[in-house]
């Protein structure tokens, strides 16, 4: 069993470079973007600085460890940059791992350069945590060519409706549940495809997609016909630990802010840090954050080593890290008091950002169900 207890010197130096890049270069671009919209200059900068090539490499698989270090480091300084990178990776991974050589040659260069924005279109209005319940239909197309027509709706799709390329999961067979689901690459300019943005608590680009007989053909299939659910689960196994890394990055930023504030803010005759209630709270926040970080690194190392039990480790990493980040950010707000609730404060921003990771890519309750199931496998 491979367990990563620490990072080597090269990894630590890379993380420091990423944090500096996020603070000095990416943060200004994020601040110029419109809330709830795809920030194309930011995505282009991620490509220009070589970060997207880490999630869309042309010559090999994605490293789970690199992905986690990227997401944690960027999240500490610029959550918008972290999210933009993660969404590119999530939308691209089915193509990268299961796509044909022709599909990869067409799309990967533009994705890695930050010219093509991607999206992972799995969730539906009635199929969120229970993704196998999706209803988007892929009906056989009577026109020559042996294709399908997609009819239905997707919801809670990051980067929708502004993405250039969607990985869409639809039901090609009559069987219920996971059977009969196929993954398709659907360019945004396909006739019959529409959508609208959604206003969310955290201003990420999220929206709906409406499919009104959207044509797709055999060349658009990712993987095998009927094998789409395995594509979805395989993608989530990689990205769930990195959601935990995103959460750890936010927890570290909140902890750093709380430590600084408690050392400077004076109350009751001395700095807040001298109050046992505050110092013990900081100690608990630091310990939980470190534990979450180690669980994420262990899951990433296990994935990269090809060890068994990836689904269980991925679920544990996401579960513990996202719940920990919620606790740490909330505690940091409490230590700061009312000032942390002002619009524009770092902790006000993190307080809105930290809630969603406990839901997307499998809610906390889903992660517990996966872990429990894996215990008896």
| Catalytic positions, written as ranges | 361
Token pair belonging to 262: 């408690």
Listed in sequence order, the DSSP H helices in 265-309 are: 276-304
What gap in Å lies between CA 103 and CA 183, rounded to an integer?
A: 13
154 membership: H or E segment, kind and range:
strand 148-158
Containing H/E element for 165? strand 165-171
How far apart CA 313 and CA 240 sit, in angstroms, is 9
Q: Number of helices (H) and strands (E) in the chain: give both, helices first.
A: 12, 10
**How does 300-320 read in b/e, with b if 16+ C-beta sit within 10 Å?**
bbbbbeeeeebbbbbbbbbbb
Backbone angles phi, psi at 195, to 5 degrees: 170, 180
Report how far residue 345's alpha carbon sits from residue 351's, in angstroms, rounded to the nearest whole number: 10
Which stretches of 114-151 are DSSP H helices? Answer: none
Record the tokens describing residue 107, joined without a space. 């799309």
8 Å CB contact between 141 and 149 = yes
* CA 3 to the chain's CA centroid: 23
Query: In a 3-state reduction of DSSP, which class is residue 134?
Result: coil
110 burial (CB, 10 Å; 0-12 / 13-18 / 19+) is: middle
Collapse the DSSP code of 373 into the 3-class scheme (helix H, G, I; strand E, B; otherwise coil) and give the result: helix
């Amino acid at each position: 069993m491979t367990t990563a207890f620490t990072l080597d010197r090269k990894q630590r130096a890379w993380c420091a470079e990423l944090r500096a890049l996020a603070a000095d270069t990416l943060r200004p671009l994020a601040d110029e973007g419109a809330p709830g919209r795809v920030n194309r200059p930011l995505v282009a900068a991620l490509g220009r600085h070589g970060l997207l090539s880490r999630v869309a490499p042309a010559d090999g698989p994605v490293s789970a460890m690199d992905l986690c270090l990227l997401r944690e480091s960027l999240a500490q300084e610029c959550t918008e940059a972290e999210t933009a990178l993660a969404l590119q990776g999530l939308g691209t991974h089915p193509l990268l791992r299961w796509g044909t050589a022709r599909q990869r040659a067409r799309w990967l260069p533009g994705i890695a350069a930050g010219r093509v924005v991607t999206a992972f279109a799995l969730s539906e209005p009635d199929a969120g945590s229970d993704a196998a319940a999706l209803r988007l239909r892929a009906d056989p197309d009577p026109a020559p060519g042996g294709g399908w027509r997609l009819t239905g709706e997707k919801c809670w799709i990051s980067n929708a409706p502004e993405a250039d390329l969607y990985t869409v999961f639809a039901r090609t067979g009559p069987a219920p549940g996971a059977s009969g689901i196929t993954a398709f690459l659907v360019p945004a300019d396909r006739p019959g495809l529409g959508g609208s943005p959604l206003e969310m608590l955290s201003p990420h680009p999220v929206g709906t997609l409406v499919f009104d007989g959207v044509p797709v053909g055999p060349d658009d299939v990712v993987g095998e016909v009927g094998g789409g659910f395995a594509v979805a689960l395989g993608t989530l196994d990689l990205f769930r630990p990195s959601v935990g890394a995103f959460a750890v990055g936010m927890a570290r930023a909140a902890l750093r802010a709380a430590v600084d504030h408690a050392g400077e803010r004076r109350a009751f005759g001395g700095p807040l840090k001298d109050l046992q209630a505050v110092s013990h709270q900081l100690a608990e926040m630091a310990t939980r954050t470190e534990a979450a970080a180690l669980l994420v690194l262990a899951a990433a190392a296990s994935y990269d080593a090809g060890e068994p039990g990836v689904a269980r480790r991925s679920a544990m990493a996401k579960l513990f890290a996202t719940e920990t980040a919620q606790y740490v950010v909330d505690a940091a707000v409490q230590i700061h008091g009312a000032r942390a609730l002002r619009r524009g404060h770092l902790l006000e921003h993190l307080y809105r950002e930290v809630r969603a990771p406990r839901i997307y890519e499998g809610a906390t309750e889903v992660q517990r169900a996966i872990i429990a199931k894996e215990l008896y496998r």
